[in-house]
Amino acid sequence: MISALDYIPNAILSNNILQKFTGTITLFVLDAGQFFEEKISPLDTFIHIIDGRAIITIKDESKFT
Whole-angstrom distance, CA of residue 7 vs CA of residue 29:
6
What pTM value is reported for the model? 0.65
Whole-angstrom distance, CA of residue 8 vs CA of residue 25:
21
Cα angle at 34 between 20 and 15, to 5 degrees?
25
Judge whether 5 and 29 are in contact, CB under 8 Å.
yes
What band does 4 get if pLDDT is binned at 50, 70 and 90?
low
CA distances from 21 to 14, 43, 45, 63 (A): 19, 11, 15, 30
| pLDDT tens-digit map of 25-59 | 888 888 888 888 877 778 888 888 888 888 888 88
Domain assignments of the chain as residue spans, ordered by start: 12-64
